[in-house]
Amino acid sequence: MDITKLPFVPAFVKNKIKSRPELQQMTSNFVWLLFDKVLRILVFMFVNAWMARFLGPKDWGLFNYSTNFATLFAPLTTLGLNAVVIREIIRKPERTYDIIGSTFLLKLVGAVVLFVVTAISIFFVRQGDTETMLMVIISASGYLFLSLDAIDLHFQSQLQSKYTVIAKDIAFLLVNVVKMFLLYFKADLMWFIWVTMLEMVLGSVFLIWAYRLRKFKIMKWNLRFKVSKDLIAMSWPMLIAGLANNIQGYIDQIMLADLMGNDALGQYSAAFKLIVSISFIPMIIYSSVAPDVTKAKQNNESLYYFKLLRIYQIMFIISVLLAIPIVFLSDFIILFLYGNEYTGASFLLSLMVVRLFFANFGVAKTLFITNNDLFKYSLLTSILGALFNILLNYILIPIYSAAGAIYASFISYSLTIFLVDIFYKPMHRNLGVMLKSIFDIPDYFRILRQRIINQNNPK
């Protein structure tokens, strides 16, 4: 998708992109990822809202509990490898098939471990609740197929995410057609769990198809023990950090259901799903700019920090632009999408917008962590954040119910993304860049305005 051919793109942007082939490739990759997320939001607005109305808060809460329980351990399927693998392919393109083949093997082993850990954990957490245990185990089985997401990492390293988008979106659309049939015929909750798992299966099947379409060959993958060992040696702190981050991000839902019941989780999930559905922009920005930032780090330190500053500024602006309308329209949004049964979710939605700010900065901060090899520090801060979040949830949920889970998240994210960096010198420069990105926003717009003027009035 050539962004320079889109009619709504300003002329000065088109000219700048045309003069820089690497920027044109990066923006094209961004547009494909943006298309994917917008499509998913539109489908979500219809199918998930219909599903939430059909199930009601209690069963909607149970559905989200079952799918999110396995999500707690999802980093076991990625093993913290994603950013490392992309970086290593860029650094050593001649070893691509060794790296991708070894990544696939590691991801497969990790997925098996996830399945076992999830099954054992739910047995102890919901002992005697056979229905919930079965739904969680079915959800966890889908992660076995995500080992083939090693293909996506190959595409990302080449800034060819459009092939992943096409493959995953075909599976996504097919599954949502099936969901609509299930909703029309008023199917049992268990069918929706099976269909959710099916999306992971079909996504992997179509990903293989896209890989072959690009003339890449899985048969060329090499499973190298040394490469696997080196990758794990670099990524294991990110694995532990990922587990801690997932616990920090999802444990509130598990604890809310266990402490206050599935109905409370149903209300919370209605708001949470909306926030997650619009939290895609930082991730696609990350996927699109990561290779360029890595190259800047290798070649020019000043340029590297300049790019980080601009990325943080973009992340801040996006979080503000998304938060303002949600706060003012939260009542209307919840009533329109979910109906009267979910009126309790409107207040939660207005509170939860602050999560966008922390999510955006957390994703951008990963660029600094990855390129400065600060994985162990990230590990420690993530563990600290997860522990604080669990403690705060135990304290605040019984007092404030679902709102308490949101308050706990705010405090723990403030700690891990900003406050702890004060006490670790290697993070000071990045902390300064983050703070500057917030307080120098007027300067950013002044520079942008001047560029537009210069473009429209060339000397």
pLDDT tier at 291, thresholds 50, 70, 90: confident
In tens, the pLDDT along 351-370 reads: 999 888 998 898 889 889 88
SS3 74: coil
Answer left, alpha or beta for residue 9, where phi above 0 means left and psi between -120 and 50 means alpha: beta
Phi, psi of 74 (to 5 degrees): -55, -35
Among 316, 417, 299, 420, which Cα is nearest to 368's?
A: 417
Task: Give the residue from 22, 32, 20 showing the smallest Cα distance to 287.
Answer: 32
The C-alpha atoms of residue 69 and residue 122 are separated, in whole angstroms, by 8
Tokens of 150: 């090693």
Cβ neighbors of 221 (< 8 A, separation 6 or more) are 97, 100, 101, 104
Query: pLDDT at residue 399 above 90?
Result: yes
Instruction: Let me know: does 290 contact 83? Beta carbons within 8 Å.
Output: yes
DSSP notation for 364-382? HHHHHHHHTT-HHHHHHHH
Q: Would you say 182 and 191 are in contact if contact means Cβ atoms under 8 Å apart?
A: yes
CA–CA separation, 391 vs 393, rounded Å?
A: 5
Q: Tell me the chain's radius of gyration from C-alpha atoms.
A: 22
Q: What is d(CA 143, CA 458) in angstroms, rounded to the nearest whole number?
A: 55
Tokens 């266990």, residue located: 258
Long-range contacts for 420-423 (Cβ within 8 Å, ≥24 apart)? 420/381, 420/384
Which pLDDT does position 127 carry in this prediction? 84
Looking at 295-398, which runs of residues are DSSP E strands? none
pLDDT tens, residue by residue, 200-247: 899 888 888 878 777 777 777 877 888 888 888 887 877 888 888 888
Burial 367-389 (b: 16+ CB within 10 A, else e): bbbbbeebbebbbbbbbbbbebb
CB 261, CB 341: distance < 8 Å:
no
Give pLDDT, residue 238: 77
Residue with tokens 């996830």: 114
pLDDT digits (tens, 9 = 90+) for 416-452: 899 999 999 999 999 999 999 888 765 655 555 555 5
Whether pTM > 0.85 for this model: the answer is no
Provide mean pLDDT across the span 271-299: 80
Q: How many CB atoms lie within 10 A of CB 342?
A: 24
| pLDDT value of residue 44 | 74
Query: How far is it, in rounded angstroms, from Cα 408 to Cα 340?
Result: 27
Other residues' Cβ atoms within 10 Å of the Cβ of residue 7 = 4
pLDDT tens column, 96-150: 778 888 888 888 889 999 999 999 999 988 888 899 999 999 999 999 988 888 7
The pLDDT value given to residue 450? 54
Give the count of beta carbons closer than 10 Å to the beta carbon of residue 4: 15
Asked if 146 and 77 touch (Cβ cutoff 8 Å), the reply is yes
